[in-house]
């Protein structure tokens, strides 16, 4: 069975984020993938449970540039170190920085829906237009303060409304979709599980397959 393609994030100063993400979100799992069976076979349907995963501790290194994902490479269920891809902060520097910032509520939504650029002490956030209503003087001041604390320097913040190619929120959505497809792949290709289905003339309830 082929190893999954390796997901990665690359950084280039003031480089532009890709205009679209790869639509091929699923990749073949490695041979030692496991699942937990939680459902009972009832009314000729098997309840399938999903793939457990552990979240590695993210690095707290602060990005100094725009982090982007290669649009020509599919997200993989596994990282090069063998850990499962669960969180955007595992592959995206901006997401990783946000996880170290003491922000919540509306302020956190601003950064999660923004793309990040930094040059010297100038930070520019490109905010998704659907989140414009979150902007006001107070929220911008809180974002600037949190970024200054996280980066360890006083920064000048400029928040612009635009069409960011990638944001921590959109990256996490793509990871979630990839993991769900991967969990469904595992259930449909596990020999023991398929043997149970065959023995009881059962089927899998699609909605019961959840990545976790």
For residue 14, the model assigns a pLDDT of 31
Domain ranges of the chain: 9-208
For residue 205, the model assigns a pLDDT of 77
Virtual torsion, Cα 67, 72, 74, 78, nearest 10 deg? -50
Q: Which CATH architecture has domain 9-208?
A: 2-Layer Sandwich (3.30)
Quickly count: other Cβ atoms within 10 Å of residue 211's Cβ.
Answer: 21
H, E, C per residue of the chain? CCCCCCCCEEEECCCCCCCCCCCCCCCCCCCCCCCCCCCCEECCEECCCCCCCCCCCCCCCCCCCEEEECCCCCCCCECCCCCECCCHHHCCHHHHHHHCCCCCHHHHHHHHCEEEEEECCEEEEEECHHHHHHCCHHHHHHHHHHHHHHHCCCCEEEEEECCCCCCHHHHHHHHHHHHHHHHHHHHHHCHHHHHHHHHCCCCECHHHCCCC
Q: Distance between CA atoms of 38 and 141, rounded to whole angstroms?
A: 47
Give, for all 212 residues of the chain, the pLDDT tens digit.
444 333 333 333 333 333 333 333 333 333 333 333 333 333 333 333 333 333 333 334 444 444 445 544 688 898 999 999 999 999 999 999 999 999 999 999 999 999 999 999 999 999 999 999 999 999 999 999 999 999 999 999 999 999 998 999 999 999 999 999 888 888 888 888 888 888 888 887 777 777 77
| Cβ density class 14-42: b for 16+ within 10 Å, e for less | eeebeeebbeebbbbbeeebebeeeeeee
For residue 73, the model assigns a pLDDT of 62
């Amino acid at each position: 069975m082929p190893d999954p393609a390796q997901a990665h994030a690359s950084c280039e100063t003031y480089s532009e984020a890709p205009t679209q993400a790869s639509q091929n979100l699923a990749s073949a799992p490695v041979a030692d993938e496991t699942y937990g069976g939680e459902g009972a076979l009832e009314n000729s349907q098997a309840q399938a449970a999903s793939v457990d995963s552990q979240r590695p501790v993210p690095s707290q290194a602060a990005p100094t540039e725009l982090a982007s994902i290669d649009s020509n490479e599919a997200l993989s269920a596994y990282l090069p170190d063998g850990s499962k891809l669960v969180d955007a902060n595992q592959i995206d520097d901006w997401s990783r920085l946000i996880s170290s910032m003491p922000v919540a509520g509306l302020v956190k939504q601003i950064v999660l829906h923004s793309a990040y650029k930094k040059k010297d002490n100038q930070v520019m956030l490109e905010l998704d237009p659907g989140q414009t209503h979150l902007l006001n003087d107070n929220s911008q001041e809180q974002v600037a303060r949190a970024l200054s604390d996280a980066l360890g320097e006083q920064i000048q913040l400029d928040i612009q409304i635009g069409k960011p190619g990638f944001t921590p929120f959109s990256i996490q959505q793509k990871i979630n979709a990839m993991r769900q497809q991967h969990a469904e792949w595992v259930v449909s290709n596990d020999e023991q599980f398929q043997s149970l289905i065959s023995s009881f003339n059962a089927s899998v309830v699609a909605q019961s397959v959840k990545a976790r």
